[in-house]
Amino acid sequence: MRKRTPRKSKNSLTRNNYLLAKPTYFGDKNIPMSIELVQYDNMRVAVKNIQLQAAIAEQLDKTKVNWVKITGISDAISVNRICKELGLHSFDVKDLLADQQVVKAVGYDNVSFILMSAFYQDKAVADIDDMQVAFILGKNFVVSFQEASVPVFEEVKKNIEENNVLIRQKGADFLLYILLNAVNTFNITTVMDIEDRLAEIEDQLIIGRDSIDILQLLHACRVDYMHIKRSTISLREEFANLLHNTNKLIKEENLVYYNDFDDRMRTTLGDLASFYESLTSLLDLYYNNNNLKMNEIIKRLTIVSTIFIPLTFMVGVWGMNFRLMPETDWKYGYLVAWVVLIAIAVFSYLWIRKQKWF
* pLDDT value at residue 20: 59
Do 31 and 81 sit in the same domain of this protein?
A: yes
**3-state secondary structure at position 40:** strand
DSSP 143: E
| Domain limits for position 263 | 5-289
Say which CATH number the domain at 326 has: 1.20.58
Q: Look at residues 289, 315, 334 and tell me which one is the last residue of a structural domain.
A: 289
Do 139 and 211 sit in the same domain of this protein?
A: yes
Digit-coded pLDDT (tens) for 54-109 = 889 889 998 999 999 999 999 999 999 999 999 898 888 988 988 777 889 998 98
Do 240 and 283 sit in the same domain of this protein?
A: yes
Q: What is the pTM assigned to this prediction?
A: 0.75
Q: Sheet holding 65-71: strands in order across?
A: 45-50, 34-40, 65-71, 141-146, 127-137, 112-122, 104-107
Domain count, the chain: 2
Do 174 and 307 sit in the same domain of this protein?
A: no
Kindly report which listed range (17-21, 171-175, 210-214, 230-234) carries the lowest average pLDDT score.
17-21
Digit-coded pLDDT (tens) for 22-59 = 778 888 888 899 999 999 988 899 999 999 888 898 89
Question: In the chain, which ranges are continuous DSSP H helix?
Answer: 5-14, 56-59, 76-85, 90-97, 154-162, 172-206, 212-244, 255-318, 326-329, 333-354
Do 203 and 66 sit in the same domain of this protein?
A: yes
* pLDDT value at residue 208: 67
Do 122 and 196 sit in the same domain of this protein?
A: yes
**Is pLDDT of 115 > 90?**
yes
